[in-house]
Amino acid sequence: MGKFEKDAKELLKLVGGKENVKAVTHCATRMRFVLNDESKADTKAIENLAPVKGTFTNAGQFQVIIGNDVPIFYNDFTAVSGIEGVSKEAAKSAAKSNQNPVQRVMTMLAEIFTPILPAIIVGGLILGFRNILEGVGFEFLGQAMADGKPVFDAQGEPVWNTITNVSTFWNGVNHFLWLPGEAIFHFLPVGITWSVTRKMGTSQILGIVLGICLVSPQLLNAYAVAGTSAEEIAKNWVWDFGFATVNRIGYQAQVIPALLAGLSLSYLEIFWRKYIPEVVSMIFVPFLSLLPALILAHTVLGPFGWWLGQLLSTVVLAGLTGPLKWLFGAIFGALYAPFVITGLHHMTNAIDTQLIADTATHTTGLWPMIALSNIAQGSAVLAYYFMNRHSEKEAQISLPAAISAYLGVTEPALFGVNVKYVYPFVAGMVGSGIAGLVSTTFNVQANSIGVGGLPGFMAINVKYMAPFFLCMAVAIVVPFILTFFFRKAGILTKTEDEAKA
């Protein structure tokens, strides 16, 4: 008899029986079900099973939190149910039938950006370190000199040497680190077009080639476009076909043009596969997919994507830097956790990378608030843990969830405790909103998307490190205190009281 055989049999009955399970798989800590009718799942009874630490529904999947024993539980479940498990990708595909159009778009964006996030995070850390080396003057290194004379700023204050000014070694390190930094951000479209073809199940090498064609040295670098006159572009940076000209503009670091180009390539390849005989498909499908996609990219999709991306970043930047930026920060900070529940938070990856590409400082003020929201939800569930630490079941759920949120993964905290009992969720939202207000007030900027939660400071531009630590303190303390206050005052605690009753 398996370790969880009895509980597995009970879970099968509580999710509506074998006939209600369309697909099942598992991840590191959760059983993931795609159910034909989610209303048949008895959520309260499932959460009362000894191995279960919580449930939630996300992206069309009914997910049951088991913990580190989930592989053993999964094996026992498939054994007693007779249901063949499927891969995560197959489960995601089956779950699409349970999603509305907005959820499908958000899921697609998540699946495109997730594989390239490690590179973006590493790039942010590298740029942050380079910023310290070359951008921060330290008094102990002495005053900067020019033509043998001390340098002063516009206010008459002395300008201090940077590390690269005084150290040949660190100056070399700084130049060397630009190699991966440039590769990650300037050539980001290559990663995006590759990831699109990977997600769509089309030829990944064609996605790579298309991405290279968007950032080729033959094109005017996107970073140089703003400083190049229209006359010079018309004279030196066009393809002249006699009857028409096409601008030879690069799309370095541009997100939306690369996304649109990659999707056009994939849909063209899918289309031609249906109609071209397999015997000649190796010749004609790549040719008839890549060439039209490339033409579309440089004539229609690229310019449109550039315009749309700049419009989006302009609107967000106006919120981050305008006269009501404190209000924008408070609202975004408070609402980011609900965005996570709906899946809308995946859109912020595209906005962040677009802001980094378009702003003069190549930074984003949006990502710091995302890290602060993760911290705030982690603090709320940590407070819940301290209030319920003598309950073994509650402690097993809440403490790992708090640690996970502090490291940037908030789903266990949100669905396992905070949303379930409401008042910790609201406490986290309030704390995150206040932290977001402080962040935008001090104009805190990040060099890139980073590791969410407490390690998030590593991606922050060094000039804003001190105010970001203040924001972190707010995100830690306010939700923690509010969670205790709400519980003691009986505010928003009806759900928990009913569950305990």
Contacts of 171 (CB under 8 A, 6+ apart): 133, 164, 165
The Cα-based distances of 241 to 236, 238, 244, 292, 300 in angstroms read 14, 9, 5, 16, 16
Closest to 382 measured CA to CA, from 374, 490, 46: 374
Burial-class residue 462 by CB neighbours within 10 Å (0-12, 13-18, 19+).
middle
**Which ranges of 143-203 does DSSP label H, i.e. alpha helix?**
163-166, 168-185, 188-200
Q: What is the number of H-type helices and E-type strands within the chain?
A: 23, 8
Closest to 495 measured CA to CA, from 404, 382, 417: 417
**Dihedrals φ, ψ of 259, to 5°?**
-65, -45
Torsion of CA 479, 484, 489, 490, to 10 degrees: 90
- Residue 217 DSSP code: T
Contacts of 316 (CB under 8 A, 6+ apart): 351, 355, 366
> Given CA atoms 337, 343, 349, 355 in this order, what sign does their dihedral have?
negative
Q: Which tokens sit at 429?
A: 């939202």
Rounded CA-CA distance 460/95 in Å is 36
CB neighbours of residue 292 within 10 Å? 14
SS3 145: strand
Rounded CA-CA distance 496/69 in Å is 27
Contacts of 28 (CB under 8 A, 6+ apart): 68, 70
Q: Which residues are catalytic, by number?
A: 27
244 in Cβ contact with 272 (< 8 Å)? no
